[in-house]
Amino acid sequence: MHRRTFLLALGSVSAAAIFGHPVFAADSRILVAFFSATGTTKEIAKTIAQAVKGNLYEITPEKAYTKADLDWHDKKSRSSLEMADSQTRPKIAQALPDIRNYDVVFLGYPIWWGIAPRILQTFVEATDLTGKIVIPFCTSGGSPFDNSADLLIKGAPRAQWKNGRRFMPGVSPSEISSWVRQLGVVF
Ligand SMILES: Cc1cc2nc3c(=O)[nH]c(=O)nc-3n(C[C@H](O)[C@H](O)[C@H](O)COP(=O)(O)O)c2cc1C
């Protein structure tokens, strides 16, 4: 059989699964942790959690962001000030997840000024991600994934960070599930 026919015959099985390099095992215990100020990342997080049969954890700021807080045209808005100050760590409202119950963490955020909002740094620095497989994902108005997770990696250097992915608002659930399958596990 030609290689192409062989690959077609395998249908929905991902390339990573075929070639034996899954990012995580099918029986992994999975957490989908995310922050979302206006709901876009939350929708993606819900779809990922459904696709991987994982638990959802919303990173909720102690003080919710108002519309004025999110105004990036205003240099004095809360988000502008936080993003301009690399030391800011907005507090998280609720208890952190019991990370010992998980092997894999999908970590979602909206891109703010090219990077992850500071509250993601609060989360990775307060959670012991040692040895955990962490797969970042984000949404944005147009900025690519790029190095948006670099400060998160710096904040949790003992995690096993995997390549991340940016989704445009309105991405279809099938595109999200297809990305999850490419990570090497067929659900
Ligand atoms: C303070 C702030 C800064 C932003 N900076 C960027 C940016 O640098 N690049 C970009 O493409 N989108 C930027 N956006 C747009 C968001 O990334 C985008 O709307 C995202 O999908 C919102 O996700 P959410 O609804 O989960 O909060 C910014 C939004 C806000 C509120």
Candidates 3.40.630.30, 3.40.980.10, 3.40.50.150, 3.40.50.360; CATH matching 3-182: 3.40.50.360
User: What is the 110 CA–ligand 1 centroid distance (Å)?
Assistant: 5
Q: Tell me how far the alpha carbon of residue 82 lies from the centroid of ligand 1, in angstroms.
A: 14
Rounded distance between C-alpha atoms, residue 35 and residue 15, angstroms = 30
Q: In this structure, which residue's CA is closest to atom 31 in ligand 1? A: 70
Encode pLDDT of 150-164 as tens digits: 999 999 999 999 999
What is the domain partition of the chain in residue ranges? 3-182
> What residues are in contact with ligand 1 under a 6 Å CB criterion?
36-42, 70, 72, 79, 110-114, 139-143, 169
Here the tokens at position 172 are 């279809």
| Count of other CB atoms within 10 angstroms of residue 149 | 24
Q: What is the DSSP letter of 125?
A: H
pTM of structure = 0.90
* Digit-coded pLDDT (tens) for 7-61: 444 444 444 544 556 788 878 899 999 999 999 999 999 999 999 999 999 999 9
Please give the distance, rounded to the nearest whole angstrom, from the Cα atom of residue 38 to the centre of ligand 1. 9
